Structure 1
């Protein structure tokens, strides 16, 4: 069947002219009905075209399509691929983070592209103007629906799809690699038998021969990597000698580079005839690569690929591999889920990887099958070869996986309390009947019916009731006399920031302290459940100790390491031994600090929230306490903040007083200086005017005065606090756009002198509080 016959108005949206056998069989259900569709098919059999057909039908019917991609890297890839739809007059919009979201573009888009996490966030906030677009989705295409079985992300995908179906009831088209229990997924999504397709291995364009190779595990993990590398090269070498290509998956970006370096030397010793050093044009093209190591490697027929490379370098590597110029390519798992880059031989060198948050972790069975599915080049090979290299003790586990496949399980139970709390916080669950109705919409309930003993189906409803009671006992949910269920402020904040509930409780406990310090803020975050599995390696101990000199903490092991990394981040100087995990830990800590800031704002007040805002900014930018206020100005990061602070400019007000001329003398270009001054003008500039405030007061007398707080800059939410001899008298929180007054009672107390202090703190900005004092003599 030709594309132009099936979808004539969208013929230019496809990169080929004819549908293959698998696509032809699924086409009528996708194009000619409105039923939900579930289709599983081997990797490289053309599932993407099914997604595109579903999108074409939605666009033809005047609707909006949502494509849920398993990884962020793939959302960007789809944006580039689907320029074909743009050329037909349809708009494609990739929904990224909160800060970068353009609600108008999202609302007008014909095709939305999101990860499960972004879709979860959007559906949670669907009633806000920024995210209302999510309720207009007419068709939701789930790419790689077997992600449901992911420990980390499966629960998110499950509740998001269930929630989306309750919000706007879109048509759902779910695609997957081969899965034995496709019937359960079809039952969950209400896909009838006539639109449920389980395409077997006979639909693979190239047969797959998959097996396990073992090695003997030693005491030294570094030496083990090389044992596995030599095993991988032994496996790949015969194919490479026959002008085939090998794709070798390793556990980290750094390992792709190190393995490529070692492989170049090893292949030269073995005299394996690969490389293109005599190809003048290729030699010239390779000079354009921005990565030095990659530039040297590709000429010897060896390359590496990971998400940290520039897009230009990644594109060139993919192109050259497709053209056969690269014989052995080392990659992280991104290639398994993303680019269609098949090879005659696929080797999984590493079955474990180091996760900064969870320590040593087994690669998921889904990833293993996804990687091996890349073996075999359609049109070039009759058979593809896939190998897993593992320790002898794990060989049977992987042989069983290759023989039987992997049923998709629900991972909802692991975080049932968090997901149930989120539904209650959104208002989609209002009573116990709603709880049970929600449960019935989940894949969890389907699997429990399918495997009643393993999932404890008989006790399922009781377990959900117990979870609900635990939310009430924990202060996340409250119940009324009419048995209605409602989220508390604590529950809503936990949902808003995707917090584990133990972490939310920990933050709430901090808010109850009389005095909150920088150390307390850092310790609350470092001790969060999200960091509980962080591993502390023995070679990191000295670096951790050096960062915590003089710090009194009860944290141990991984959380203690997290605390050290956060302290180092505040100074902008992370020890070399801690850098490998520092970026991931810091990014997660910034999310938790933002959450803690709002907790403190709600439960402790603006001063505590402002302290958390300054800690957050220092962790993000690595600046001193004196320079942190400068980071509130757009265009000023850590380097410029440090430079300006050294020159005596420590606040937006100082920057405005200095003007563009002074900033250019400090090293900023004129254009940057102008933008910095313009941004500083939008920030608050506070003056405290005491008016007719007395210098003295008689003992026992009491008189009221008014102090004016004037803002000559941009409007801001502010907390105003008046203390007398360090004892709080008056507080006021308001939006300060120009000026406000606050009454101050001047009284003659028992002290000889009364010190009145007015402070203005900014709960949402990292600006130092503005303070001023007056002394009143008691006569």
Structure 2
């Protein structure tokens, strides 16, 4: 059955010319019916084409398709793959947290690509102009729906799909690797029997011979890695000697590089005939690689692959592996979920990995099965070989996994309070009956009916009532006399910023302390974030502790745990652009999560304290993001000024946007900028608010016991912005206003002849949404 016969107008959208047996059997359900579809099939059997068929039908009907990719790294890959749709004049738009959203492009897109987390965030804000595009989806394709069973991420996927179905009821096409309880997923998605497919192992293009191999565990984890590596090479060697290829999965990006280096030496010692050092053409091609270590390695037939490599290098390695130039490839798990790169032999060297946020964790069973599914090259091998290398104590666990597969469970119960709060904050749940109606749309409810005792289903209503009471007690939800429920400001902010509830409560407590008179400092912001629940599983390895102590030297943080001290050290060093090398491997992930949390804390401070407190958090966020000093942070508000340029300008004495505006283009050129850059930076500074404070006829003296009210004018001669204007006398706040400052605001200031020699009045203007240092001016009045 040729693609051109079935879908003549979309023939160029597919990477092949003929559908295989599995695709042919699913094709009528996807193209000729309207119902939801669930299909489970072995890895590498061609499931991606089912997604593309569903997308083609939606496009042919004039609709919009949404593709949910399991990992952020794969969203970019789909963007590249689906150039084929772009060539047919259909637009593909990827929405991830890493990119600035262009709502207009998202609205006009024919195919949207998102991760579960980004879709969750977008559907929570579906009634905003920015995210309204998510309610205009006609088909939703869930790639790897067995992610429902993943720690943390599973419940996100589950509630998001349930929410999307309530918002716009798209057709849902769910695809997964082989799973024993595909019928439960079909029941959840209301897919009838006729459009539910369970393609078993006979649909695998190549038979899989999978097993478990143990190694002798030692005291030293570093030495254990090499014991496992030699075990992996023992398993791969026979295939490499027969011109087969081997794919070895390891725990981290660093490990791929180290393992490849060690493997090259070991293979040379074992005299395994591989590599292309005599191939002049390949030798020339290899010079296109940007990574030096990779360039040296590929000529010996050994390479590594991870998401941190440049796109150029990843593409070349993938292509050379397909061509057979690379015979032994070390990779992280990302490759198992993404590119179809099968090998005759697949070895999982590491079943445990270090997660920057979770510490040492077991690789998920889903990842293990996904990786082993890469064994066997269609058209080249009759059988693929897959091995899990693990400690003897864990061998039976993995043998059972390979024998029985993995039933997919719901993880919603583990974070029910958080997801319930989000639904209440959106206004979709207003009483207990609504909660039960919502739960009935979840996979949790379906699995609870299959396994009532394990899911404590007989007590479900009671569990929900306890959950609601907990939300009320903690200030996230309030109930009225008619038993209706609605979110408080705290609950809305927790949902909007995707916070764990204990973190939201901690942020609210800090706001209360500031309201009661605690002087808020940058250290308070950093400590509140470092001790947030999102970082509770971060651990500090022994080799990191000296670096942590050096960063925090002179600071009193005795009551913080080691992991919290590590996060705080990363935030403090990131804020000054000096992260120690020992902390660098985890710093990127921790910083990325921290900036979201600081932004959320800023919103709490804005709502419950005021603009000045929010501005302090905004400046802390900008410093963590850019690594600039406290006096130069305001420069990062200017478009085109990154960390390097901000530091350079600050060294020249230009540390605020006001300094930039005063210096003019010539002054910026004198400070070392090229003319074109100077013009852009100057224009950027002009597009920010700029404050002048006019004290009018403010007195220099006041008689004891006399009271006068004078007016101070705060004028914005730059772009309009939301601002907080605060007046203090001798350090104590007199007035505070929150305003949208377009041109000028007049502030009444009382001058009182108090029992003191001098009164020091300070007018301060802060911008809660910009990292600008507050503008302050002071006047002193003598009391006579």
Give the TM-score normalised by the residue count of structure 1.
0.99
Is 1:628 the counterpart of 2:636 in the alignment? no
The equivalent of 1:246 in structure 2 is: 246
The equivalent of 2:585 in structure 1 is: 580
Is 1:280 the counterpart of 2:284 in the alignment? no
Report 1:311-326 matches (<5 A): 311-326=311-326
Cα displacement (A) at 1:99:
5.8
Q: Secondary structure at the match of 1:452?
A: coil
Cα displacement (A) at 1:461:
2.0
| 1-structure distance, mates of 2:604, 2:188 | 37
| 2-structure distance, mates of 1:104, 1:617 | 27
Cα displacement (A) at 1:229:
0.4
Q: Could you give the per-residue CA deviations for residues 477-506 of structure 1, whole angstroms, max 9, x where no partner exists?
A: 011122111111000100011100000000
The equivalent of 2:676 in structure 1 is: 671
Is 1:566 the counterpart of 2:571 in the alignment? yes
Number of residue equivalences? 779
The equivalent of 2:10 in structure 1 is: 10
Report 1:462-611 matches (<5 A): 462-513=462-513, 514=517, 515-553=519-557, 554-611=559-616
* Structure 2 counterpart of 1:647, from 637, 647, 652: 652
* Structure 1 counterpart of 2:689, from 673, 684, 703: 684
Cα displacement (A) at 1:526:
0.5
The equivalent of 1:735 in structure 2 is: 740
Cα displacement (A) at 1:418:
0.6
| 1-structure distance, mates of 2:646, 2:32 | 60
Is 1:344 the counterpart of 2:344 in the alignment? yes
| 2-structure distance, mates of 1:106, 1:761 | 34
The equivalent of 1:124 in structure 2 is: 124
Which segment is superposed worse, 720-729 or 346-355?
Answer: 720-729
Q: Could you give the per-residue CA deviations for residues 641-687 of structure 1, whole angstroms, max 9, x where no partner exists?
A: 22211211110000111122222232222211111111111111111
The equivalent of 1:763 in structure 2 is: 768
Q: Secondary structure at the match of 1:130?
A: coil
The equivalent of 1:617 in structure 2 is: 622
Is 1:720 the counterpart of 2:725 in the alignment? yes
| 2-structure distance, mates of 1:552, 1:192 | 62
Which segment is superposed worse, 342-351 or 712-721?
Answer: 712-721
Cα displacement (A) at 1:89:
2.0
Q: Could you give the per-residue CA deviations for residues 214-234 of structure 1, whole angstroms, max 9, x where no partner exists?
A: 001111111000000000000
Cα displacement (A) at 1:287:
0.5
Report 1:357-436 matches (<5 A): 357-436=357-436
| 2-structure distance, mates of 1:246, 1:650 | 55
Q: Secondary structure at the match of 1:402?
A: helix
Q: Could you give the per-residue CA deviations for residues 84-107 of structure 1, whole angstroms, max 9, x where no partner exists?
A: 222222111111238611111111
Q: Could you give the per-residue CA deviations for residues 710-741 of structure 1, whole angstroms, max 9, x where no partner exists?
A: 11111111100111112211111111121111
Cα displacement (A) at 1:119:
0.9
| 2-structure distance, mates of 1:337, 1:520 | 41
| 1-structure distance, mates of 2:132, 2:159 | 18
| 2-structure distance, mates of 1:772, 1:739 | 16
| 2-structure distance, mates of 1:98, 1:637 | 17
Q: Could you give the per-residue CA deviations for residues 568-623 of structure 1, whole angstroms, max 9, x where no partner exists?
A: 11221122222221111111111110100111111111111111111111111221
Cα displacement (A) at 1:771:
0.8
Q: Secondary structure at the match of 2:453?
A: helix
| 1-structure distance, mates of 2:102, 2:624 | 27
Report 1:157-236 matches (<5 A): 157-236=157-236
Moved segments of 4+, more than 4 Å: none
The equivalent of 2:751 in structure 1 is: 746
Which segment is superposed worse, 96-105 or 518-527?
Answer: 96-105
Distance 1:592 1:46, change over 3 A: same
The equivalent of 2:267 in structure 1 is: 267
Cα displacement (A) at 1:705:
1.1
| 2-structure distance, mates of 1:63, 1:761 | 46
Give the TM-score normalised by the residue count of structure 2.
0.98
| 1-structure distance, mates of 2:392, 2:295 | 37
Q: Secondary structure at the match of 1:454?
A: coil
Q: Secondary structure at the match of 1:237?
A: helix
| 1-structure distance, mates of 2:98, 2:568 | 27
| 2-structure distance, mates of 1:496, 1:218 | 47
* Structure 1 counterpart of 2:665, from 660, 664, 668: 660
Which segment is superposed worse, 229-238 or 615-624?
Answer: 615-624
Cα displacement (A) at 1:436:
0.5
Report 1:270-309 matches (<5 A): 270-309=270-309
Q: Secondary structure at the match of 1:330?
A: strand
Q: Could you give the per-residue CA deviations for residues 728-763 of structure 1, whole angstroms, max 9, x where no partner exists?
A: 111111111211111111221111222111111111
Q: Could you give the per-residue CA deviations for residues 188-215 of structure 1, whole angstroms, max 9, x where no partner exists?
A: 0000111100000000000000000100
Distance 1:485 1:98, change over 3 A: farther
| 2-structure distance, mates of 1:641, 1:94 | 31
Q: Could you give the per-residue CA deviations for residues 273-330 of structure 1, whole angstroms, max 9, x where no partner exists?
A: 1000111111111001000000000000000000000001100000000000011000
The equivalent of 2:450 in structure 1 is: 450
Cα displacement (A) at 1:564:
1.4
Which segment is superposed worse, 481-490 or 538-547?
Answer: 538-547
| 2-structure distance, mates of 1:591, 1:249 | 31
The equivalent of 1:711 in structure 2 is: 716
For structure 2, the residue ranges without an aligned partner over 5 or more in a row are: none
Distance 1:129 1:17, change over 3 A: same
Q: Could you give the per-residue CA deviations for residues 332-391 of structure 1, whole angstroms, max 9, x where no partner exists?
A: 001100000000000000000001111110000000000000000000000000000000
Q: Could you give the per-residue CA deviations for residues 31-68 of structure 1, whole angstroms, max 9, x where no partner exists?
A: 11101000000011111111111111111111111111
| 1-structure distance, mates of 2:666, 2:688 | 20
For structure 1, the residue ranges without an aligned partner over 5 or more in a row are: none
